[in-house]
Structure 1
């Protein structure tokens, strides 16, 4: 970008086209004078009768107008700008894994109050400032372990900062090479081809240098933060020996150079922010607001169009040709004709989402229907379901599943709509039955009088349940009929069965309301108390959780033969 005080050019490479302007002016001057050939062949006193008066001056003016149009078009293409506006600025968004040293050396007090306390304070400040991109946390000593996987939720990572103490590590020692390898594996498992690794420690060995070279070759940046001071201090290791430790800045600088990153001493005042911001070329994009120069080249289009009209008026053939091109029939487009079909579909989906949020589900379904894809058909099904067109919604979900078999959201929503359709069917069937004049009472066997020939078609031995009285049935309006000789025995059996069912239901209700007084087996009681005690011993604070997690992971690696 060229900065000329208040005027800026966003695409200054177009200004090179101005070098062709003198050449074009010279060519127009030599070819634009139509009377030059006549002057060489005809006597001067005859020229006024052969040449049109003022033609040369008009040709000269047209040449100047063409040169001015060329100048304006070139400046417009160069992107003149003289004011700033709010606009999205795209920045790289790559994951970052911070690997912290939790060996016994982190307990050294060469920096107040201790190395591990300073490291925790710096991590809190980093996580509170919303770091660029996803972030993960790794702790290492002689082996490396994941404290928090890569996530966009920095607050979730901050929960474990206070628990970062050397006693959570299952083994002691220092292996920065293992920390780099594990951080790289963590980034690649999360699906990122590139990332940033920030190593917080006090030294680096040859194995770490080699690991940094390999990580950088794979597209990752390895930076280092120096933990401690060059004066050092003595610290007691787990084996009981006092060992002096000091910050080796030279090895950490070399490690950062090998990894393509930066080195800085750990600073609580933000002096090491450049280490966390160091990113490689490329990566995932993240839109962020900012202020940028506004391209004002479009403001030069009106005078350019006026100049073009003047030239076209003087050149009717060119005007007719351009008009013919403009009148050529083109296929109609539902959206902007300058957009590709996939861009038009994307615009339709955006309009559908906007209408869906406003509650205009019918219009949203129409917009989603303009796109042809699994997601578009799924969204159309949702809009149709909200609009009450359940059968059409099922068809839309079927189309989405045909485009993308096994789409979980489409399967779940389709089943919900089918359940809603099934719930509507019984109510419709009952209404139809009432209109048809059928009822439950009309379908039950009627009472027969002795000697009635129509009673021969009735079942002679109905089940007791069918003769049992129902409180839901309406009372018969006619007088009770004389029972058959066998009616008392059937009624007695039905009454006995009904009393048995009522007693059983009453006992179940009492058992549900009152605790059982059945004596408990002592062994079962002891087992229950043991389980409750075990649940009480489950760790509910991050330190114990990390300690147990790292121990189990370390044992698993030892059994699997992998560090």
Structure 2
């Protein structure tokens, strides 16, 4: 497969017909000037060192060099390659709660959007680390396998919403178990799970899952999102709030005690995320303390740069053009290569 990295520079090719038109115009004007002086055949005998064909050939070398330089600027790319990059970093699996209670607006703009904003800023601070993303509600699903492709991670973040998981609830244990299985096998760097949840509707053995992860050397850090006093859950697309079977507005509250117990079992940190950046700073500090080791990260590049050959062609044409003189050398005047 072939493409140009910067195809917009191909518009510079419109310079070539302009260059050709200028050359033809100058050539015709020169012929008219010579005819005004006399018979061109007689005048050519009076100027034996002048070689119109040399000048013609020099122009085409310049023309070809300009075209080649434009192609170099446009960045021709062809083929594909797989590179292995050595990185010094850690591995981080993010588990994000996408249950309906995460739509509560007790933190601004709501719990889910606040979580996504925090994770986006956290990802901006990564350099050589690996990150993966799991979403969960009643079930847990891998949204992004562990990778060093931060652009993809941020892209997946923007598309997350509660409708991604049809089964509602908060299966924190399932998310931790899935995250623990998602790290790179035999990797010696520190590994951590960053789980963001409001802790509501706890359904499975999250404490047991966190303890099992800790036994494998995986720290489970919990970010409690929301406020203990809680807030109602907006119904998307309406101005109403979620109600229970008796018609009362449901108030979802941060289950801070549950979050703290899970963090303690996972030998990790618990921090509450509110309307400040304190949780983000605490997470960044915790990750910075982790042991960074060399990670093998394979980077797939679909296109490989191929400008070198075109650049050598441009250089060759320019050198040849410089070596061709406008006039014949007196020593080689009888050599009929150019005239």
Structure 2-normalised TM-score?
A: 0.52
1:332-481 counterparts in 2 under 5 A? Answer: none
More helix by share: 1
Tell me if 1:114 matches 2:110: yes
- How far residue 130 of structure 1 moved from its aligned partner, in angstroms, is 2.4
1:92-491 counterparts in 2 under 5 A? Answer: 93-130=89-126, 133-188=129-184, 194-203=190-199, 205=202, 207-235=205-233, 241=244, 242-266=249-273, 269-272=276-279, 273-278=281-286, 282=291, 284-285=293-294
What does residue 302 of structure 2 align with?
none
- How far residue 170 of structure 1 moved from its aligned partner, in angstroms, is 2.3
More strand by share: 2
- SS class of match (1:156): helix
- SS class of match (1:126): helix
- RMSD, matched Cα: 3.0
* Structure 2 stretches lacking a partner, 5+ long: 1-86, 237-241, 296-339
Q: Does the aligned pair in 1 maintain the 2:180–2:213 contact within 8 Å?
A: yes
Q: Does the aligned pair in 1 maintain the 2:98–2:112 contact within 8 Å?
A: yes
- How far residue 226 of structure 1 moved from its aligned partner, in angstroms, is 1.0
Q: Distance in 1 between matches of 2:117 and 2:145?
A: 20
- How far residue 111 of structure 1 moved from its aligned partner, in angstroms, is 1.5
Q: Does the aligned pair in 2 maintain the 1:231–1:247 contact within 8 Å?
A: yes
- SS class of match (1:186): coil
Q: Does the aligned pair in 2 maintain the 1:187–1:194 contact within 8 Å?
A: no
Q: Go from structure 1 to structure 2 and tell me whether the alpha carbon gap of 1:245 and 1:269 turns closer, same or farther (over 3 Å shift).
A: closer
- SS class of match (1:260): coil
Q: Distance in 1 between matches of 2:266 and 2:97?
A: 18
- How far residue 93 of structure 1 moved from its aligned partner, in angstroms, is 2.2
Q: Does the aligned pair in 2 maintain the 1:95–1:192 contact within 8 Å?
A: no
Q: Go from structure 1 to structure 2 and tell me whether the alpha carbon gap of 1:214 and 1:145 turns closer, same or farther (over 3 Å shift).
A: same
Bigger radius of gyration: 1
Q: Go from structure 1 to structure 2 and tell me whether the alpha carbon gap of 1:112 and 1:157 turns closer, same or farther (over 3 Å shift).
A: same
- How far residue 110 of structure 1 moved from its aligned partner, in angstroms, is 1.4
- How far residue 147 of structure 1 moved from its aligned partner, in angstroms, is 1.2
Q: Distance in 2 between matches of 1:268 and 1:103?
A: 20
Q: Does the aligned pair in 2 maintain the 1:225–1:264 contact within 8 Å?
A: yes
- SS class of match (2:270): strand
Q: Go from structure 1 to structure 2 and tell me whether the alpha carbon gap of 1:140 and 1:115 turns closer, same or farther (over 3 Å shift).
A: same
Deviations 1:420-474 (A, max 9, x none): xxxxxxxxxxxxxxxxxxxxxxxxxxxxxxxxxxxxxxxxxxxxxxxxxxxxxxx
* Structure 1 stretches lacking a partner, 5+ long: 1-90, 287-563
Structure 1-normalised TM-score?
A: 0.32
- How far residue 146 of structure 1 moved from its aligned partner, in angstroms, is 1.1
Q: Does the aligned pair in 1 maintain the 2:190–2:290 contact within 8 Å?
A: no
Relative contact order, CA 8 A, sep 6+: which one is greater?
Answer: 2
Corresponding residue pairs, total = 197
- SS class of match (1:231): coil
- SS class of match (1:160): helix
